[in-house]
Structure 1
Amino acid sequence: MRDSDEMEIFVEIVRQGGLSAAARHLGLAPSVVSERLSRLERRLGARLLVRTTRRQTLTEAGRIYLDEAAAIMAATAEMEARVRATVSAPGGMLRVTAPVPFGRIRLAPFVAGFVRRHPDIRVHLALEDRMTDIVGEGYDIAIRAAPVVDTTLTGRRLMESRRVLVASPDYLVRHGRPDTPGDLARHACLVANMTGQCRGEWRFGRGKDVRILRVDGVLASSHSELPVHWALDGLGLTQKSLWEVEDHLRAGRLETVMEAWEPDPVTFYAIHTVSTAQSHKIALFMGELLQPGGIDRAPS
């Protein structure tokens, strides 16, 4: 028996919530599923599940193995789908959701090139700053600034984005330049917040020194691009990914401050449901998006 068979059985046990349900789903006898799980645990030398008559709980080793196994299975499914796609041209509608600034600045140019290269595929790109329900709202792929925590989803790391603290020259003339995180208490902060509150958490690092600030903003919005517009109007400082403001920095409309204290970077992930991993069009889109330079590819 292949090691991958044991891996798939373990993942299915977790997804289905138990050995018996997994056995029914896989069309195997419960005794076979139980034996293969035990064989996997013996081979790894680690307990993956703690099982009682009423429930099962993942051990720490089990959580690690589940995350890695799901990623391996998704990557394998994508690879196989891409191979099949070479002899069967993909087509149909692909629904993608992404945060507003990332989708507008980074993803939209890639999508334009993608549909030109694959004219049989149509793409609907929804730009929303809220956390969408990928399954419930019928999306094929989501771009998120957070890793996967749902076992029905699988995610691949897309890119890490450097962040900067910026303000307009006019604001800095009137209020001065902050030099340390502590100085921000005397400045107007502009916050992107999805909860309806004028506050946020800003993290800064200088070598091993890390500062976490609870920022009470003078202005906040659930629309993540508005703080940039407010900063351009001289209303305060805001934290943004470098690619969101680099045009304004080059033009002198904004300036970076506190360069010695860099905000935490943000990591973006491309996410889809495990069940759609074998879709030709999803595998093709993910494959081109994740290849080196994919997200930066100009339309062709």
Structure 2
Amino acid sequence: MRDTDEMRIFVEIVRQGGLSAAARHLGLAISVVSDRLSRLERRLGTRLLVRTTRRQTLTEAGRIYLDESTAILSATEGMEARVRETVNAPGGLLRVTAPLPFGRIKLAPFVAGFIRRHPDIRVHLTLEDRMTDIVGEGYDIAIRGAPVVDTMLAGRRLMESRRVLVASPAYIARHGQPEIPGDLARHACLVANTSGQCRGTWRFGRGENTRIYRVDGHLASSHSELPVHWALDGMGLTQKSLWEVEDHLRDGRLVTVMEAWEPDPVTFYAIHTISTAHSHKIALFIGELVQPGLGIADYAP
């Protein structure tokens, strides 16, 4: 059986978008990466990539080789992980990333209990309001409010949460209650936006009736939790997941508005690479994350 190094290099060339980026990612000289690719194409007797000064494109043979190589590498890494973990209890570092509010409210308490139950495992939890590159940044698990679209990744459904539009009773008393999305143009909208703009997009309606509305914010922040604090101060309306504001709704500091226009719920997933599907510590973490009594509570739509 041939060495898998050439497979790994080819997969990284495609994944990173070019020879130079793949060489930097792998810590190799670009001449080495180029030579391995040329040697691979000579051995196979066909071109796998068509390269120009601006882009590279997979040939039909290249697409086949990429799919087969990915499957082989995934199986190899999974096999090695299973072998290692048959002789060792789950341990070592587990790198997890999640959106800031989800991580603080939902995940951090779970992680504390997980570490108490499994003291040989260490967890580094990164909370950021951006879409992380799981593979490129070296994360074991990422929590996302969207399903898997990358063929290199796999996901496990965690929970479903309603999205609600909320404001303080004081704000409603001063400005009235919006009835339809068009009314928002006359209200102060509080948005989370990482682009430095005071605008956002909110969804309203369900299923085929779902519509996306652009709202111009009176206050905006790259920190996704600040709009909730501003809403509590009576500064305007904001759209959030129920678990972000349920305590404030329960104590009456916030109220829901435009309930008839509530959008489809958001589903959160635990994402990991396919190659780590057989990792004991990753399976243990995600398994307990969804376990009743240990994991994250599920909300009905």
Q: Same fold (TM over 0.5)?
A: yes
> Which residue pairs with 1:160 in the alignment?
160
- The two structures, once aligned, show a CA RMSD in angstroms of 3.7
> Which residue pairs with 1:97 in the alignment?
97
SS at match of 1:183: helix
Question: Structure 1 unaligned runs (5+)?
Answer: 1-12, 32-50
Deviation per CA, 1:50-102: give whole Å up to 9, x if none. x99855579xxx9xxx8xx98xx89xx59x97898577311111111111110
Please report how far the alpha carbon of residue 289 of structure 1 lies from its aligned counterpart in structure 2 after TM superposition. Answer: 1.8
Q: For 2:241 and 2:59, how far apart are their aligned partners in 1?
A: 39
Answering whether residue 267 of structure 2 is matched by residue 267 of structure 1, we say yes
Deviation per CA, 1:193-250: give whole Å up to 9, x if none. 1111111111111575333211111111111100000000000000000011000001
> Which residue pairs with 1:278 in the alignment?
278
Assess if the C-alpha contact under 8 Å between 2:158 and 2:296 holds in 1.
no
Q: For 2:190 and 2:83, how far apart are their aligned partners in 1?
A: 47
Assess if the C-alpha contact under 8 Å between 1:82 and 1:284 holds in 2.
no
Residue range with higher mean Cα deviation, 234-243 or 149-158: 149-158
Assess if the C-alpha contact under 8 Å between 1:205 and 1:262 holds in 2.
yes
Identity of aligned residues (%): 77
> Which residue pairs with 1:211 in the alignment?
211
Residue range with higher mean Cα deviation, 118-127 or 278-287: 278-287
> Which residue pairs with 1:128 in the alignment?
128
**Structure 1 residues 263 and 135 mapped into 2: Cα distance closer, same or farther (>3 Å)?**
same
User: 1:61-210 maps to which residues of 2 (within 5 A)?
Assistant: 88-205=88-205, 208-210=208-210
Assess if the C-alpha contact under 8 Å between 2:49 and 2:59 holds in 1.
no
SS at match of 2:102: helix
Please report how far the alpha carbon of residue 132 of structure 1 lies from its aligned counterpart in structure 2 after TM superposition. Answer: 2.2
User: 1:44-63 maps to which residues of 2 (within 5 A)?
Assistant: 54=50, 56=58
Question: Structure 2 unaligned runs (5+)?
Answer: 1-9, 15-35, 51-56
Q: For 1:177 and 1:264, how far apart are their aligned partners in 2?
A: 21
Q: For 2:82 and 2:48, how far apart are their aligned partners in 1?
A: 41
**Structure 1 residues 294 and 14 mapped into 2: Cα distance closer, same or farther (>3 Å)?**
farther
Write the letter of the residue equivalent to 2:275: S
Could you tell me the TM-score, scaled by structure 1's length?
Answer: 0.71
Please report how far the alpha carbon of residue 140 of structure 1 lies from its aligned counterpart in structure 2 after TM superposition. Answer: 1.5
**Structure 1 residues 113 and 84 mapped into 2: Cα distance closer, same or farther (>3 Å)?**
farther
